[in-house]
Amino acid sequence: MSKKPFLALAALAGLSWLVVAPSPAFGQGDTWAGASLAQMVEGARWRLGVLRVNATFSLSNVGYDSDVFYGYLAEPVPDYTFSAGTTVQVLMPLSKKIVLDVFDSPQYMFYLDTKNERAWNNTFRGQVHFAFDRVYVQLGGGLSNVRYRLSPELNVNVRQNQDGLDGLILWQVSQRASLAFVYGSATYDYGEAEFGGVSLSDYLNRKEDYFDLITYIEPSPKVRFFVDGQYGSYAFAKEEFRSRDARSYGIFGGIEFIPKTGEQLATAGIEGRLKLGYQRLDVIDSRFVDGSGFTGEADVSVSLMKRNAAHAFFSRGFQFSVFSGSSYYLATAYGGGISRLLSRKASLSYDISFGRVLYPGSEAPEGFLNRYTTHTFGLNLRLARHLSLGFLGTLGRRILDSSGLARNRNFFGFNLVYGSAGGGMSAPGGGSR
């Protein structure tokens, strides 16, 4: 037999075994992360032998955008648009203590008239979970090649390539206390992207590394308090822009409200995460001003009288700037909303958000402001068990310069989603991964 047919038969046999082989019983160990992993594995939508699969197909943001470039050009550029994509997560328990987890999400973005905005995107991530008796370990990495709205400073579509590796180890010291160490590394590449004659790769291509040491206290199964000490380093790719290299130091405290996988907010009562603290950004070149202050993030939802829910969010942190006179800026966003369950299959929602960008000292671009307000209205319908339709309207208003002239961007359309995305798991460092 020739080599190629033999390899094809071997691959077919291996795939057949994965589909029909009985799944090994999965043991979660005695850590809270291991328990969350077990819930994720058991809650998967489809079972094919040893494989657990979640998958969705979606048509998102199908509709009319009144200004694709959100006021960054002299005149509005309206267009019709949609995004079509799938997400696939495959979980494979290799033994009672080890689970392989693979995720992939290809997507196509379409614009009717602004053809340069059309794009293929893809995000891939693979990781291995080890759930031992009192220790949980996660090792993983990911690749993404996506065109997306870059930042609050430059809210236009830009292609970004990101490669990353990460890992964490959690030690369950006792039933209520645990310690975690988290490491992550990511490389960002913006290729030939430019805006207004500025090469984004010059100012933003970089490598980031971060380390977190976290202490958790769990007074009840649904609440965890934590203290997080964080260090980060940022190295820019091009020699002539190494003056932007920086280090960051932070100390944060917070609380996590984590419902069981698949548990509805009405049953859980409250869910979400709050992480607030102090951070210092130390730019190595003395020509730039260092930054420090209050930073953090919060996103919490609360059930109100079963049929109503309210949620609030907040984020404040340092981001690197695309303007030559500014190494970084401080982005702040906050807002909230409310939703009303009309029936078992229909709900209404309203959200409002505010944001602003601040530059250090005298490094702000002359005459440049960036403040915005967004109102979002939604009607969500569950057409079938795994089919949902959501209508949305977004009214956005942004002030870009000191003239006070407002730029508006409105969107009206719908989202259609079929399938089951599955539930994320609770893990150190990020709340849900």
* Confidence at 258, pLDDT banded by 50, 70, 90: confident
Provide the pLDDT for residue 19.
45
* Confidence at 71, pLDDT banded by 50, 70, 90: confident
Provide the pLDDT for residue 21.
47
User: Would you say residue 408 lies in a domain?
Assistant: yes
Q: Provide the residue count of the chain.
A: 433
- Lowest pLDDT segment from 99-108, 111-120, 416-425: 416-425
User: Would you say residue 99 lies in a domain?
Assistant: yes
pTM across the whole model: 0.87
Distance from C-alpha of 332 to C-alpha of 325, rounded to nearest angstrom: 20
Pick the residue with more confidence: 317 or 26?
Answer: 317
Give me the mean pLDDT over the 116-130 stretch.
96
* Confidence at 287, pLDDT banded by 50, 70, 90: confident
DSSP strand pairing (46-48 vs 79-93): unpaired
Provide the pLDDT for residue 431.
46
Q: Do the Cβ atoms of 228 and 390 come closer than 8 Å?
A: no
Give me the mean pLDDT over the 308-312 stretch.
95
Rounded to the nearest integer, the mean pLDDT of the chain is 88
Tens-digit pLDDT profile for residues 29-66: 789 999 989 989 998 999 998 999 999 999 999 999 99
Domain limits for position 409 = 23-119+239-427
By CB atoms closer than 10 A (0-12, 13-18, 19+), residue 220 is exposed
Tens-digit pLDDT profile for residues 1-40: 454 444 444 444 444 444 444 455 455 678 999 998 998 9
Q: How far is CA 72 from CA 147, 274, 357, in A?
A: 17, 33, 15
Provide the pLDDT for residue 264.
57
Provide the pLDDT for residue 152.
87
Q: Which of 25, 273, 27, 29 is nearest to 171 (CA)?
A: 29
Distance from C-alpha of 61 to C-alpha of 85, rounded to nearest angstrom: 11
- Lowest pLDDT segment from 182-196, 378-392, 419-433: 419-433
User: Would you say residue 341 lies in a domain?
Assistant: yes
Give me the mean pLDDT over the 302-330 stretch.
90
Provide the pLDDT for residue 406.
85
Backbone angles phi, psi at 10, to 5 degrees: -65, -40
Number of domains in the chain: 1
161-167: Cβ within 8 A, 24+ apart: 161/188, 161/189, 161/190, 161/191, 162/186, 162/187, 162/188, 162/189, 163/187, 165/140, 165/141, 166/138, 166/139, 166/140, 166/141, 167/137, 167/138, 167/139, 167/140
Provide the pLDDT for residue 305.
82
Q: Does residue 160 register a pLDDT over 80? A: yes
Distance from C-alpha of 173 to C-alpha of 216, rounded to nearest angstrom: 10
User: Would you say residue 262 lies in a domain?
Assistant: yes
Q: Does residue 306 register a pLDDT over 90? A: no
Q: Do the Cβ atoms of 351 and 376 come closer than 8 Å?
A: yes
Provide the pLDDT for residue 404.
72
Q: Do the Cβ atoms of 374 and 406 come closer than 8 Å?
A: no
User: Would you say residue 115 lies in a domain?
Assistant: yes
The conformation of residue 366, written as its DSSP 8-state character, comes to T
Site of tokens 């209205």: 377
Q: Does residue 129 register a pLDDT over 80? A: yes
Provide the pLDDT for residue 359.
87
User: Would you say residue 42 lies in a domain?
Assistant: yes
User: Would you say residue 289 lies in a domain?
Assistant: yes
- Lowest pLDDT segment from 52-61, 114-123, 149-158: 149-158
The Cβ of residue 167 has, within 10 Å, a number of other Cβ atoms equal to 16
Question: Alpha carbon 407 to chain centroid distance?
Answer: 27
Distance from C-alpha of 390 to C-alpha of 196, rounded to nearest angstrom: 36
Give me the mean pLDDT over the 354-382 stretch.
85
* Helix (H) or strand (E) segment spanning residue 181: strand 177-189
CATH of the domain at 298: 2.40.160
Provide the pLDDT for residue 364.
63
Q: Do the Cβ atoms of 400 and 370 come closer than 8 Å?
A: yes
For residue 23, give the amino acid letter: S
Q: Where are the beta strands (DSSP E) in 37-78?
A: 46-48, 51-65
Pick the residue with more confidence: 170 or 39?
Answer: 170
Give me the mean pLDDT over the 147-170 stretch.
93
The percent of residues above 90 in pLDDT, for the chain, comes to: 68
Provide the pLDDT for residue 362.
60
User: Would you say residue 158 lies in a domain?
Assistant: no
Distance from C-alpha of 211 to C-alpha of 166, rounded to nearest angstrom: 10
- Lowest pLDDT segment from 33-42, 87-96, 316-325, 347-356: 316-325
Report CA torsion sign: 298, 126, 417, 374: positive
Q: Do the Cβ atoms of 301 and 271 come closer than 8 Å?
A: yes
Provide the pLDDT for residue 170.
97
